[in-house]
Amino acid sequence: MKKIPNTFGIDVTAARLLEYSSEDELRELIAAGHVIAPWLHIGGGSNLLFIKDYEGTVLHSCIGGLEVTSEDEECVSVRVGAGVIWDDFVAYCVERHWYGVENLSLIPGEVGASAVQNIGAYGVEVKDLITSVETINIAGEKRIYGVDECGYSYRKSLFKQPEMKTVFVTYVNFCLSKREHYTLDYGTIREELEKYPVLNLETLRRVIIDIRQIKLPDPKVLGNAGSFFMNPIVPRQQFESLQQEYPDMPHYDVDAGWVKVPAAWMIDRCNWKGKALGPAAVHDRQALVLVNLGGATGADIVALSDAVRASVREKFGIDIYPEVCLI
């Protein structure tokens, strides 16, 4: 039995843990019959909650490398291995003054998982930077999915569908801008930028990292998977009704008929911030984050999640759902 890496710090094992560093190595593992069902393909384990030991094969990509595939005055296209640490990729782009990913600084995990999860933060989603996703399936066949085929929406993608468990992401292709532009109108970004004399990519990355470090615990110190819940998108009529009762309810317009409501605000109003249920707790600085205080099991985290969700449903009539994948 092999221990499964996960940022929640849950002590879980897999019957088999297989790592590969190239598409050819993955094909060899498949051809040799080593990928035995059931199987699970993971990145850094930063968006997973294991409820129990995994009685199957866990696959982990160690495919590295970053290659510039095309470049002109406007943009640069890069092909990045699925096993590259996401924040290393962001730092690489910022150093070269490639614009687009800086607001996604310090998000844990790896590049392959970013394309599966459609990670997002501070007004930016990775789907708007991806051009295609390269994959190998369980038969060893390669297929490249154009971004329009990936079914991207808020924290969703084609690759999260059950029928896609036989498809493994190997490379992700991005298009980044060489023209100066920033996304600043989200959260406290503009306020924090006032502390710096100049706006550039390095400054914005520093600000994003500072904001995240103030709000979010380090998984190496306090086990967590970042934001545990997705922000719900509700009908405008329902939001306007709630707004009459809660005039200070923050929101983000999605379109004419739908509104996104911050789950953290509702959890906080239910007085969960900083509260524990056994060895699991809601973080005291960011209500979206559930943490392992030490020795928590996956079941402990789920019990806390269920209690938080029930409180939000009772108070606001809104269902919130985990962003984290429960295994």
Kindly list the catalytic residues.
155, 227, 323
Q: Say if residues 103 and 205 touch (Cβ distance below 8 Å).
A: no
76, β-bridge pairs: 71, 176
**Residue 310 near residue 304 (C-beta atoms within 8 A):** no
3-state secondary structure of 294: coil
Cβ–Cβ < 8 Å for 59, 42:
yes
Peptide bond into 38 cis (omega under 30): yes
What is the amino acid identity at position 202? Answer: E
Give the contacts of 309 (CB within 8 A, at least 6 positions apart): 229, 319, 320, 321
* Phi, psi (deg, nearest 5) at residue 3: -70, 140
Q: Do residues 280 and 223 make contact, with C-beta atoms less than 8 angstroms apart? A: no
Distance (Å, whole) CA 50 – CA 261: 28
CA atoms within 13 A on the CB side of 265: 15
C-alpha count within 13 angstroms, C-beta hemisphere, residue 272: 28
Question: What is the bridge-based pairing of β-strands 142-146 and 124-125?
Answer: unpaired
Tokens representing 101 are 């990913």
Q: What is the dihedral of CA 229, 234, 239, 240, to 10 degrees?
A: 160
